[in-house]
Chains A and B, each alone.
Chain A
């Protein structure tokens, strides 16, 4: 099974407040609030760490979930965030000049 890589889109503004990650699309100013799982994925999405490693090291550590189920859910989530153009998904590492600012 090929690996997937995820990276924060550089065209968004993002900040964490009260444990909630809030992201605004620079394209159409839509505001997203991520849940805990999506926040973990977002924060770890550096473009070079494979998604399965993110799931294993960040999500499975935080939640008691079966790794294969968690990976499947994480892939669905990553593609959903990609549809909103706040995350990039690729089968190759994603090299960016600067990832989306995340405070």
Chain B
């Protein structure tokens, strides 16, 4: 039955974020097209992938995308579930599957979770923060929703390259840390540039009547960092890894508090 074989042709694309290529395979041309658009700038022509997911599309259902993620590991296999998707991933074979409806948000969450799990083993993490490159160095602006991540991103002058206004990608290197652009956008609804730079500083965002930068103690820096690191798994080893990563990061990267007015003059402090 050649007609049926043609209908079931598998389409694939490789989405590379933070130097980790992930191949996504689907039988649905419209979904493939949607992913190509959604991750434009992060889709590579490379054949190599560190992880491969087969996506099984289900009929839309009333799953809650705001439900808590459950990420558990059993017998070397990760199980990832939320109201709107279920997925499994086996790190040893580097393969997994995702069951979801044809929407970009579910797979976006799976990618975030998988990246956090992989990064945690390597001393890196995803951080609730905007990030940008200026003068060849990356700066991160950390804070919870409403702290000003999108605002400071929107105020960035033209010589600033925006990496993300929502989720920063941090990898450890032997000589420090590097931030990568991500397609994980916040209220700005604009994906970051797919570039990277060494991290020079992290600013904990606060809004106030004037622009100023204040020192914070290392313990406050660690606490703030830990409260903004994306964390999904209830796994003792990964908790320890994230905990140690926060301390290591603070020992190498300057963390300060940036109080700012919502106008572009704040960028005069960021050089």
* Contact among A11, A24, A25, A33 for B219, CB-based, below 8 A: A33
Q: Which of B229-255 contact A (CB under 8 A)?
A: 231, 234-236, 239-240, 242-244, 247
Q: Collect the chain A residues with CB atoms within 8 Å of residue B247's CB.
A: 15, 17
> Do the beta carbons of A13 and B234 come within 8 Å of each other?
no
Q: Which of B222, B223, B227, B239 has the most CB of A within 10 A?
A: B239
Contact B239 A25 (CB under 8 A): yes
- Residues on A with C-beta less than 8 A from B217 are 18
Tell me if A's interface is mostly helix, strand, loop or mixed: strand
- A88–chain B nearest beta-carbon distance, Å: 16
Question: Would you call A31 an interface residue if the criterion is a C-beta within 8 Å of the partner chain's C-beta atoms?
Answer: yes
Q: Does A97 make an interface contact (CB < 8 A)?
A: no
For residue A2, CB closer than 8 A to chain B, the reply is no
B226 interface residue, CB < 8 Å from A?
A: yes
Nearest chain A CB to B29 CB, angstrom units: 41
A22 and B222 contact, CB distance less than 8 A: yes
Interface residue count for B (Cβ, 8 Å)?
17
Q: Is there contact, CB below 8 Å, between A33 and B223? A: yes
User: A20 at the A/B interface (Cβ < 8 Å)?
Assistant: yes
Whether A31 contacts B218 in the complex (CB less than 8 A), given A13-B239, A13-B240, A25-B239, comes out as no
Contact A24 B226 (CB under 8 A): yes
Interface range for A: 10 to 19
B236 partner, pick from A17, A20, A26, beta carbons under 8 A:
A26
A15 and B243 contact, CB distance less than 8 A? yes
| B-contacting residues, A21-52, CB 8 Å | 22, 24-29, 31, 33
Please name 20 pairs of A and B residues whose Cβ atoms are closer than 8 Å in the assembled complex, sorted by A: A13-B239, A13-B240, A13-B243, A13-B244, A17-B219, A17-B222, A18-B217, A20-B219, A22-B222, A24-B226, A24-B240, A24-B243, A25-B239, A26-B236, A27-B236, A28-B234, A29-B231, A29-B239, A31-B227, A33-B219
Q: Mark A48-72, 1 if CB is under 8 A from B, else 0.
A: 0000000000000000000000000
How many pairs of residues, A versus B, come closer than 8 Å at their CB atoms? 42
Question: B231 — which chain A residues lie within 8 A by C-beta?
Answer: 29
Taking a contact as CB atoms under 8 Å apart, the answer to whether B218 and A27 are in contact is: no
Q: Which of A22, A25, A26 contacts B223 (CB 8 A)?
A: A22
Instruction: Report Cα–Cα, A33/B226, bound state, in Å.
Output: 12
A33, B239: Cα distance in complex, Å = 16
Looking at the complex, which one of B223, B235, B240 makes contact with A31 (CB distance below 8 Å)?
Answer: B223
- Checking A18, A29, A101 against B218 with a beta-carbon cut-off of 8 angstroms, the contacting residue is A18
Q: For B236, what are the chain A residues with a Cβ–Cβ distance below 8 Å?
A: 11, 26-27
A26-B239 Cα distance, complex, nearest whole Å: 6
Chain B residues numbered 105-155 whose CB sits less than 8 Å from any CB in chain A:
none
Given contacts A17-B218, A17-B222, A24-B242, 17 further A-B contacts (CB under 8 A): A11-B236, A13-B239, A13-B243, A13-B244, A15-B243, A15-B244, A17-B219, A20-B219, A22-B222, A24-B226, A24-B243, A26-B236, A26-B239, A29-B231, A31-B226, A31-B227, A33-B223
- In the bound complex, CA of A98 to CA of B198 (Å): 38
- In the complex, A26 Cα to B11 Cα: how many Å? 40
Which chain B residues border A28 with CB–CB below 8 Å?
Answer: 234
Residue of A nearest to B240 (CB): A13
CA distance A31 to B226 in the complex (A): 8
Given contacts A15-B247, A17-B247, A28-B234, whether A22 and B240 have CB atoms under 8 Å apart is no
